[in-house]
């Protein structure tokens, strides 16, 4: 396999690089460290690029901006990868509102550039796109909820196991980030259905792991752990800190991508998260990290939620397990917290 990974220095991209390179595959990474521009020094991912280059001789880094259409077309034509995993993105709600052109050009136009380059130069190569659960906008907030001591939870038996891929993406507030990701998501599906390409959208929940360069605007658990260890104040935005996310380790994401590449399908979508077993609220995350580090979590409550933010989001993993029965979660919530704490201590 000759694998191309965009956003190869980010959390999921680097995990995918490591997963396939460790199996001896030829892996090419595209990354221009745009996160440092988006988020400042705290978002810089060069350290991860250098880590990969040092650890894996079969990995080759390419400095390329996916917004540059002619360069993308030329690059894909020359490389002709046998599979593409597209993880590059502008990932922040808040930043999208202040930099809408950058957000849309990276998330939507960049994805179109890669899809069309793939269609022209290597149409049989599977194309995996890291989408997001934000394509559902704030529609999940219309589900009837119940307030428990430390979290919100669904109060409708239809969603006991979480939200399925049939959930509507229409008539909701997405944030500009969510809207740009919807555009990319639909385009990836369309290239699969219209041109018969092997494509899928992975609508990620809270994707996390030890190699995340977490910042306040992106990287919930990583940034929370960092604040705890450094004695910084963590801002809680609305919903009493009881908002829930389902967390999936980047390794389990890479494992599902591998399963899809082995048996690709056309125009598929999957809700990719940790499911109910790996769900937790901010308050519950505070308690977990305090237990691991022995340090009190410093926080400030802001009585205003972020626009389009989910009160409770849990992914239903039934479709993933049905299509790829050999795949399942291997990293528990305990594993995730422990690894992130150890990684920040080491870093």
Q: What are phi and psi of 232, to 5 degrees?
A: -95, 155
> CA dihedral in degrees (65, 70, 76, 78; nearest 10)?
-120
46 vs 314: CA distance, rounded Å: 32
User: Which residues make Cβ contacts (< 8 Å) with residue 137, sequence separation at least 6?
Assistant: 169, 172, 173, 174, 175, 178, 308
Total structural domains in the chain? 1
Q: Which of 208, 200, 204 is nearest to 163 (CA)?
A: 204
Helix (H) or strand (E) holding 10: none
pLDDT in tens, the chain (347 residues): 999 999 999 999 999 999 999 999 999 999 999 888 888 888 889 999 999 999 999 999 999 999 999 999 999 999 999 999 999 999 888 889 999 999 999 999 999 999 999 999 999 999 999 999 999 999 999 999 999 999 999 999 999 999 999 999 999 999 999 999 999 999 999 999 999 999 999 999 999 999 877 778 667 899 999 999 999 999 999 999 999 999 999 999 999 999 999 999 999 999 999 999 999 999 999 999 999 999 999 999 999 988 778 999 999 999 999 999 999 999 999 999 999 999 999 97
The answer to whether 299 and 234 have CB atoms below 8 angstroms apart is yes
Helix (H, G, I), strand (E, B) or coil at 310: coil
Helix (H, G, I), strand (E, B) or coil at 317: coil
Q: Which of 65, 73, 85 is nearest to 5 (CA)?
A: 85
331 vs 249: CA distance, rounded Å: 6
The answer to whether 3 and 82 have CB atoms below 8 angstroms apart is yes
Q: What are phi and psi of 128, to 5 degrees?
A: -105, 125
The confidence score (pLDDT) of residue 213 equals 73
- Cα 157 vs. chain centroid, distance in angstroms? 27
User: Which residues make Cβ contacts (< 8 Å) with residue 93, sequence separation at least 6?
Assistant: 134, 175, 176, 177, 178, 217, 306, 307, 308, 309
The confidence score (pLDDT) of residue 42 equals 80
Q: Which of 195, 201, 179, 178 is nearest to 85 (CA)?
A: 201
User: Which residues make Cβ contacts (< 8 Å) with residue 134, sequence separation at least 6?
Assistant: 93, 174, 175, 177, 178, 181, 308
Single pTM value for the model: 0.95
- Cα 145 vs. chain centroid, distance in angstroms? 25
The confidence score (pLDDT) of residue 309 equals 86
| Alpha-carbon distance values, 298 to 8, 232, 233, 339, 342 (Å) | 33, 6, 5, 21, 19
Tell me, what CATH number does 187's domain have? 3.40.50.720
267 vs 197: CA distance, rounded Å: 8
Residues in the chain, total = 347
311 vs 313: CA distance, rounded Å: 7
């Amino acid at each position: 396999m000759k694998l191309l990974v965009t956003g190869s220095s980010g959390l999921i991209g680097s995990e995918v690089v490591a997963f396939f390179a460790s199996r001896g595959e030829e892996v090419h990474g595209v990354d221009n460290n745009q996160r440092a521009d988006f988020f400042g020094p705290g978002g810089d991912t060069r350290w991860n690029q250098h880590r990969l280059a040092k650890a894996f001789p079969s990995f080759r880094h390419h400095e390329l901006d996916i917004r540059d259409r002619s360069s993308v077309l030329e690059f894909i034509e020359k490389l002709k990868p046998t599979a593409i995993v597209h993880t590059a993105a502008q990932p922040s709600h808040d930043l999208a509102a202040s930099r809408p052109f950058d957000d849309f050009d990276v998330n939507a136009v960049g994805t179109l550039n890669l899809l069309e380059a793939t269609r022209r130069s290597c149409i049989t190569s599977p194309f995996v796109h890291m989408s997001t659960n934000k394509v559902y906008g704030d529609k999940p907030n219309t589900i009837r909820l119940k307030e428990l001591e430390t979290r919100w939870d669904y109060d409708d038996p239809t969603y006991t196991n979480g939200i399925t891929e049939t959930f509507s993406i229409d008539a909701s507030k997405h944030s500009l980030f969510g809207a740009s990701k919807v555009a990319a998501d639909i385009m990836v599906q369309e290239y699969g259905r219209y041109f018969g390409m092997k494509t899928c959208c992975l609508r990620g929940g809270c994707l996390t792991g030890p190699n995340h360069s977490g910042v306040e605007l992106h990287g919930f658990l990583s940034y929370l752990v960092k604040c705890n260890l450094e004695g910084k104040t963590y801002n809680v935005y609305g919903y009493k800190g009881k908002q829930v996310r389902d967390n999936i380790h980047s390794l389990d994401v890479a494992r599902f991508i591998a399963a899809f590449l082995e048996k690709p399908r056309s125009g598929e979508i999957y809700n990719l998260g940790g499911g109910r077993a790996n769900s937790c609220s901010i308050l519950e995350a505070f308690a977990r990290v305090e237990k691991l580090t022995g340090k009190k979590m410093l926080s400030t409550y802001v009585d205003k939620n972020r626009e389009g933010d989910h009160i409770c989001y849990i992914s239903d993993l039934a479709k993933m397990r049905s299509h790829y029965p050999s795949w399942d979660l291997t990293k528990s919530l305990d594993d995730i917290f422990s690894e992130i704490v150890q990684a920040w201590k080491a870093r």
